[in-house]
Amino acid sequence: MTMSIHQYLCLTDNYGALVHDPATGATACVDVPEAGPTLAALRERDWNLTDILITHHHADHIQGVPDVKVKFPKAKIWGPAKDAARIPFLDHEVKEGDMARVGSLGAKVIETPGHTLGHIAYYFDGEEAAFCGDTLFSLGCGRVFETPLAVMWSSLMKLAALPGETQVYCGHEYTEANGRFAASVEPGNPVLKARIEEVARLRAGRRPTVPTTLAAELAANPFLRAEEPAIQAAVGMAGTHPAAVFAELRTRKDRF
Ligand SMILES: [Zn+2]
């Protein structure tokens, strides 16, 4: 690991993150839910913001950008080409397979449509860190607003193909509520049970539950486990295509 990552809370349950390249001094923030905490985090570390990586167009991910740009007018903004019309200030419009550059660091762009049409994730290859925005949460996934449910399943499977040791950074602190739904689906999963206990301890101390790892999510997150017989049986869909099982899980979670 050569890069430093600093995650910080914004608004009520959003996370912002700074990614710093010690080799060049370049620093990026991943989404800007709120300018104040972002600028404070930069100031505390004496880091100069060079880049802003946007995952998707929702206000709680981009609304801090203008105020941050006032302070760091040279910072370049990267974001999804497919949503350029809804993210008006992009300097670099990126799509699947492109690399976003932060100094000597490179983040591979993974298109993950579902939560929004243009949603992208950033994967720092070799650094084993992925910034998944509102696509993958610990023990959950984002609401699917702009595509059919099966498209979100494909997006999650792209993230699931990353190495198990990948540190997964998420756009929100939703793990506790996600755990309640996950336990209702798969109450007999010992890994899930242990994670829920860990999350309760962390939250009691007001500590973050993310980043998580992909391996941990594959073992406990029902939305990545739609192929598992136990999950399929729990929703009465044994032997069904996992995309359909995922759709049923997501629909149930919306009502939970
Ligand atoms: Zn969102």
Query: What's the pLDDT tens digit per position in 54-88?
Result: 999 999 999 999 999 999 999 999 999 999 999 98
Quote the pLDDT of residue 2.
86
Query: What's the pLDDT tens digit per position in 156-178?
Result: 999 999 999 999 999 999 999 99
Q: Of these residues, 20, 51, 57, 58, which one is catalytic?
A: 58
Q: Does 115 participate in catalysis according to the annotation?
A: yes
The answer, yes or no, to whether residue 148 has pLDDT greater than 80, is: yes
Q: How far is the CA of 132 from the centre of ligand 1 (A)?
A: 11
- Cβ atoms of residues 90 and 57 within 8 Å: no
Q: Does 58 participate in catalysis according to the annotation?
A: yes
Q: How far is the CA of 134 from the centre of ligand 1 (A)?
A: 5
Query: What's the pLDDT tens digit per position in 175-197?
Result: 999 999 999 999 999 999 999 99
Q: How far is the CA of 188 from the centre of ligand 1 (A)?
A: 31
Q: How far apart are CA 6 and CA 17, in angstroms?
A: 6
- Cβ atoms of residues 25 and 48 within 8 Å: yes
- Cβ atoms of residues 209 and 182 within 8 Å: no
Q: How far apart are CA 181 and CA 178, in angstroms?
A: 5
Mean pLDDT of all residues in 44-51: 98
What's the chain's Rg over C-alpha atoms? 18
Quote the pLDDT of residue 1.
57
Q: How far apart are CA 15 and CA 33, in angstroms?
A: 8
Query: What's the pLDDT tens digit per position in 84-119?
Result: 999 989 999 999 999 999 999 999 999 999 999 999
- Whose tokens are 């829920």? That residue is 196
Q: How far apart are CA 223 and CA 57, in angstroms?
A: 23
Q: How far is the CA of 236 from the centre of ligand 1 (A)?
A: 30
Amino acid identity at 178: N
Q: Does 61 participate in catalysis according to the annotation?
A: yes
List the Cα angle 96/93/23 in 5-degree steps. Answer: 85
Quote the pLDDT of residue 88.
86
Q: How far is the CA of 137 from the centre of ligand 1 (A)?
A: 12
Mean pLDDT of all residues in 226-231: 95
Q: Of these residues, 31, 51, 60, 98, which one is catalytic?
A: 60
